[in-house]
Structure 1
Amino acid sequence: MKTMLLFILGILLLTATEIAKVYFIMPMPGSQEAETIDFAYWIHQNSWFIRIAGWLLIAYPTYRLLAAPKRVGRKTVVLALLAVYGVVFYLFNFRFLAEKMFYQPKETVMLDLKASKIPADKVVLGLVVNGQARAYPIQFIGYHHQVRDTVGGEPVMITYCTVCRTGRVFRPLVGDKIEEFRLVGMDHFNAMFEDKTTGSWWRQVNGEAIAGPLKGQYLPGFQAEQMTLQAWTELHPETLVLQPDSTFKEQYASMEPYEKGKVKRKLTGRDSLSWKPKSWVVGVERNQAARAYDWSQLLKQKITNDSLAGTPLLLMVASDSATFHVWNRNVNGQVLHFTVDSTDSFRDRETGSVWNRHGVCTEGLLKGKKLARIPATQEYLHSWETFHPATTRYL
């Protein structure tokens, strides 16, 4: 009996280790709400030691139980439990890992607008580095989670988390070294990467190392903008555009409804109602203050005047219902107030000048002036409020 109990204890230890190694860093029931990242990292780092201990624990009992004569029932139980452990080991090491579900492109092909096959209404993450512009369709980077490129002579790491709807771009530098990263899982529903050199885990939403030797450090980032390819090319006609990798046709097809919020999956689907966990919001940070703006309300209003931490803001959603901008309403020391003028144009009350959807004044006393851009992101409400716990809501 003691031999069987020892065997069962070892099997439970081994099985629990394989499950825990994945459970705490993947979107499984109850796994993403608690503060368990340190424990998850400890399990990840020590899993081989635990496995060896478990294998040693069951080695002798397995031999004794299988070698015992006329113990068919016990032998059947032993073999069944070993089979269960084998299945768990396979599933949690070769099927349920994030890096086994989402792969980086085998080749990164960037083409100019004449050669590009990407439709103009596709939503892209736009980036400019040292005067060079690039556009990365969300449909592609959303599947890959990470795409590497060189823009303006700088190495860049374009990332996207579909569960949070967060697109971020980083310099993949740890110290002075260009680092390699792999998708390892998620924390609080946000994608998480592991660097090859130190094994530290980095949060996608802000580039922070949240576990490992480099905990507390941040990857340097670039400011990116989300809009339709049409809107981006109006600003940057010389842009290059990421093309699909033919290896991932099926995966891209499954991502096609995502950018419009038409995916029906629980994790990545949009709630069309306001202020729900899966509602879209535009998030803005100024001087350590944060505010969320409901996307449905922004769509309805088209133009929203607000102020945050002393900065007068103008939020605008274009007629394509996908492109948005946030600008500073202060022009030459004068705070302007705006109203809708016509499709994709607006007028300031103070001078009557007309401005286009790129924040450039096209008519009136301020013709030629350009509103200063304020960094902003579109994401799910649960993501914004998780990583900006002191945020306010624009109501």
Structure 2
Amino acid sequence: MKRPFLLFFILTLLLILFEIARVYFIMPFPGSQLGLDGTSAQASLGQVELAYWLHTNGVWLRVLGLLLLAYPAFLVISKPRQTWQRYVAGLLLIVYGGVLYMVNQEMMADHMFLQPRHKQVVPLSQNKISLDKLVLGFAADGQATAYPIQLIGYHHQVRDTVGGQSVMVTYCTVCRTGRVFSPVAAGKTDEFRLVGMDHFNAMFEDKNTGSWWRQATGEAIAGPLRGQTLPELSARQMTLREWAAEHPNTRVLQADTTFATEFSQMKNYERGLSKGKLTRRDSVSWQPKSWVIGVETGNHTKAFDWNQLQEKRIMSDAVGSEPVLVALSSDNVSFGVWSRRIHSRLLTFHYVAGQLIDLETRSQWTWRGRSVSGPLAGTQLTAVPNAYQEFWHSWHSFHPDTEI
């Protein structure tokens, strides 16, 4: 072998690049993710497939590379033609070892964002979470639970049982997407770990098949279950105060003191005051990090501008064939989306002098979609289940045909 050092150098460099590539395509490094310009998430599937191939074939690729490296490494270290080659080779091996450790121990998503070690879900009477904190609320079979965004935003997912039903409560701070899923993949209850990001959205890997699932849609985008979706469960975002007013017997997820520092770093996020490049809020409408309310009915989607909602308090429109009312609470952060149909009657709502009135019967309503006076007193509008607050870039990326 005439040039063992050159071969050693090339093989070591390839091993280093391989380890970097394994994490580069699924973490928010410069140029690694697409989507902040609002382009379709389909554009990034090629690099996700490449990342998945590197991930699933990582062991044998690494072993093959090390076997190929062994002989030139022996020639360079034991019989170097020049002393400097031995030192450079040793340095390269140290660099490779450092990269190997960093990628597999420090930079993997599930090593950066950990699950609760001491999970506490307590009755409201024992709650220590401020009532003004935003929560993702879920109720089933007479039991309700509130999950503070400050907590699940760090954990990214929390497993729980509500009303006897196993649930997977998820949140992605970079997309501002909160979703609750039934953790059932291919007909079996499964475990999931945070594996990285796709299009700036959290991505989970199931334990049974190793498929990768997109958090914003619950769709498997790589692996044996590609194309399948996790069953989504309807959840609502509001302050704990408003959630507790609707569900006075609610339970509340408490902070695991193990992660006090991480939770402290999240305290400004929920109100849009984060300074982080990926988690900050654009105050101007229809910018990548602007807030929208995304609503989905059937095959139709529409995005409603959060700034306009705060100004008008309500927005009456239609998503596909479904007439909807988007209403904001007086706290300026809790919201609800309701169908404007009452049996065969279609209602038209106006917000006048601090009161929400329908023009057809002049009944008065709350932002919760309940009539409190007039001919329709006691009537409750039907909630639209798929309604979310998220960043505009996220909604547009995963719903490229959305109306606005």
TM-score tier after normalising by the smaller chain length: over 0.9
Counterpart of 1:242, as a letter, is: L
1: CA distance, partners of 2:49 / 2:81:
47
2: CA distance, partners of 1:144 / 1:248:
9
1:178, distance to aligned residue in structure 2 (A): 2.0
Alignment check: 8 A CA contact 1:326 1:373 kept = yes
1:141 paired to 2:152: yes
1: CA distance, partners of 2:25 / 2:48:
7
1:5 paired to 2:6: yes
**Which secondary structure does the structure 1 equivalent of 2:350 belong to?**
strand
1:338-383 deviation digits (Å, cap 9, x = unpaired) = 112454x411111111111211101101111111111200000111
2:63 counterpart residue number: 52
Counterpart of 1:30, as a letter, is: G
2: CA distance, partners of 1:88 / 1:256:
32
2:26 counterpart residue number: 25
**Which secondary structure does the structure 2 equivalent of 1:148 belong to?**
strand
Alignment check: 8 A CA contact 1:165 1:378 kept = yes
Aligned residue-pair number: 392
1:38-117 maps to which residues of 2 (within 5 A)? 38-68=49-79, 71-117=82-128
1:280-319 maps to which residues of 2 (within 5 A)? 280-319=291-330
2:37 counterpart residue number: none
Residue in structure 2 matching 1:121, options 120, 129, 132: 132
**Which secondary structure does the structure 1 equivalent of 2:136 belong to?**
strand
1:115, distance to aligned residue in structure 2 (A): 1.1
Residue in structure 1 matching 2:371, options 361, 367, 374: 361
1:155 paired to 2:163: no
1:352 paired to 2:353: no
**Which secondary structure does the structure 1 equivalent of 2:125 belong to?**
coil
1:251 paired to 2:262: yes
1:191 counterpart residue number: 202
2: CA distance, partners of 1:57 / 1:23:
24
1:70, distance to aligned residue in structure 2 (A): 6.1
1:227 counterpart residue number: 238
Counterpart of 1:200, as a letter, is: S
Judged with a 3 Å threshold, the aligned counterparts in structure 2 of structure 1 residues 69 and 311 are, in CA distance, closer, same or farther, namely closer
1: CA distance, partners of 2:144 / 2:352:
30
1:103-146 deviation digits (Å, cap 9, x = unpaired) = 01012211112111111111000001112111000000000001
Alignment check: 8 A CA contact 1:192 1:203 kept = yes
Q: Which moved more, 1:306-315 or 1:150-159?
A: 306-315
Q: TM-score, normalized by length of structure 1?
A: 0.97
2: CA distance, partners of 1:144 / 1:95:
16
1:29-87 deviation digits (Å, cap 9, x = unpaired) = 11112331111100001111111111112111111111125621111211121122122
Identity %: 51
1:382 counterpart residue number: 393
Alignment check: 8 A CA contact 1:6 1:57 kept = no
Alignment check: 8 A CA contact 2:327 2:368 kept = no
1:174, distance to aligned residue in structure 2 (A): 2.2
2: CA distance, partners of 1:179 / 1:272:
39
Alignment check: 8 A CA contact 1:108 1:149 kept = no
2: CA distance, partners of 1:258 / 1:335:
38
**Which secondary structure does the structure 1 equivalent of 2:288 belong to?**
coil
Alignment check: 8 A CA contact 2:220 2:229 kept = yes
1:320 paired to 2:331: yes
1:310-337 deviation digits (Å, cap 9, x = unpaired) = 2111111111111011111112322111
2: CA distance, partners of 1:333 / 1:100:
53
Alignment check: 8 A CA contact 2:168 2:181 kept = yes
2: CA distance, partners of 1:52 / 1:170:
37
Judged with a 3 Å threshold, the aligned counterparts in structure 2 of structure 1 residues 316 and 11 are, in CA distance, closer, same or farther, namely same
**Which secondary structure does the structure 2 equivalent of 1:194 belong to?**
strand
Unaligned runs of 5+ in 2: 35-43
Relative contact order (alpha carbons < 8 A, sep ≥ 6): 1 or 2 greater? 2
